[in-house]
Amino acid sequence: MQDIARKVGVSPMTVSRALRDGTSVNTQTREAIRQAVEELGYVFDSTAANLRQQRTGFVAVTIPSINNANFADTVRGLSDGLKVHGLQPLLGYTDYDIDQEEALVEQLLRRRPEAIVVTGGQHTPRCRRLLESAGIPVVEIWDLPGQPVGHVVGFSNAAAAGMLIDHLVSTGRTRIAFIGGEAGRDSRGADRRAGFIAAMQRHGLDATRLIAAGVPPVSMLEGAAATRALLQQAPDTDAVLCVSDLVAFGALTECQRLGIAVPDQMAIAGFGNYEVAEICVPPLTTVNPFPEQIGRQTAATLLSLLGLSADNLPQNSKISPELLVRASTLS
Partner DNA sequence: GTGAAAGCGCTAACAA
Partner DNA sequence: TTGTTAGCGCTTTCAC
Query: Which parts of this chain interact with its own copies (CB under 8 A)?
Result: 41, 43-48, 50-51, 56, 66-67, 69, 72-73, 75-76, 79, 88, 90-93, 106-107, 109-112, 129-130, 133-134, 219-221, 224, 246, 249-250, 253, 256-257, 275-276, 278-281
Out of its own copies, DNA, none, what residue 320 binds, judged by CB under 5 to 8 A for its kind, is none
Q: Give the nearer residue to DNA in terms of CB position, either 24 or 133.
A: 24
Q: Give the nearer residue to its own copies in terms of CB position, either 114 or 143.
A: 114
Q: What span, in angstroms and rounded, lies between the C-alpha atoms of 140 and 119?
A: 6
Following CA atoms 113, 117, 119, 124 in sequence, which dihedral angle do they give, to the nearest 10 degrees?
60
For 238, the 3-state DSSP assignment is: coil
In whole angstroms, how large is the CA radius of gyration of the chain?
25
E strands along the chain, which residues? Answer: 58-63, 88-93, 115-119, 138-141, 151-154, 176-180, 210-212, 239-242, 267-269, 286-288, 316-318, 322-324
List Cβ neighbours of 173 (8 Å cut-off, separation of 6 or more): 238, 239, 267, 329
Name the minimum Å distance from CB 215 to its own copies. 16
Residues that bind DNA (CB under 7 A): 1-2, 10-14, 16-17, 19-20, 24-26, 29-30, 44-45, 48-49, 51-54
E strands along 31-142, which residues? Answer: 58-63, 88-93, 115-119, 138-141
Name the minimum Å distance from CB 110 to DNA. 9
Name the minimum Å distance from CB 309 to DNA. 20
Q: Give the nearer residue to DNA in terms of CB position, either 48 or 84.
A: 48
Q: Give the nearer residue to its own copies in terms of CB position, either 191 or 254.
A: 254
Q: Can you give 197-222 as a three-state secondary structure string?
A: HHHHHHCCCCCCCEEECCCCCCCHHH
Out of its own copies, DNA, none, what residue 310 binds, judged by CB under 5 to 8 A for its kind, is none
Q: Give the nearer residue to DNA in terms of CB position, either 33 or 240.
A: 33
Name the minimum Å distance from CB 40 to DNA. 11
Out of DNA, its own copies, none, what residue 13 binds, judged by CB under 5 to 8 A for its kind, is DNA
By the 8 A CB rule, do 302 and 294 touch?
Answer: no
Q: Give the nearer residue to its own copies in terms of CB position, either 128 or 175.
A: 128
